[in-house]
Amino acid sequence: QSEGKEWVRSALWGLLLLVGAYVVLNTVNPGLVKLRLAGLAPIPEAVITGGTGGVGGGYGTRPCFPASTGPASIDTLRNSCFRDRAEEASAIAMAESGGNPFIPSGVDKCQPGGEPVSWGLFQINLSANGVGGLHCQSAFDRTYTQNNHNCTIVNRPLYDQCVAAAKDPQKNIAAACQIYNAAGGWRPWGANRVCGF
């Protein structure tokens, strides 16, 4: 009988620790406790990258493999400016956002405040780039960079419009095309440290 009580007591302590860990993780970063079964894939190796550059990343550390379906697929991107680079573009988008056009960056956030700066398939840094014909840079007091995370949203309505535009796959892809062409390659994307194109 006392052994049974000890089992129950241990189970309750374990449950209490589990709930405590959940509360701490949810407070620190809610993305850590969200279960996304559709996004599960085997990870070939652990990859740790530095901060973000001009574009940014959901985390920019996902495996560098192209998508077979969806807005980040090779077929979709072949019909954009990326044409012959569609496979590379797809891999960059998958490493940046997992192919999720609605995802905010998990790391590119203005400090203080914590508002996401980078959004969408290619994690476009709104403090440094326009999207959908909007001058998104004007929504911020300064540009978020790898070395300077101090920025503040100074025009919330414009920021909200830019976020909506960045979540639109076609507008996000068009912005990525402009950034790619201006840079002459994938250098602005943190995920390219993983992909190496």
Question: Does 29 fall in a domain?
Answer: yes
Please report the DSSP string for 36-62 in residue order: -GGG----SS--------SS--SSS-S
Q: Which domain holds residue 30?
A: 2-34
- Same structural domain, 141 and 176: yes
Written as tens digits, the pLDDT of the chain (197 aa) is 778 788 888 888 888 888 888 887 777 777 666 655 444 444 333 332 333 433 434 445 567 899 999 999 999 999 999 999 999 999 999 999 999 999 999 999 999 889 999 999 999 999 999 999 999 999 999 999 988 999 999 999 999 999 999 999 999 999 999 999 999 999 999 888 888 88
Which residue's entry shows tokens 């509360």? 23
- Same structural domain, 97 and 29: no
Question: Does 126 fall in a domain?
Answer: yes
The whole-angstrom separation of Cα 115 and Cα 151 is 9
Residue type, position 105, single letter: S
- Same structural domain, 9 and 54: no
Total domains in the chain come to: 2
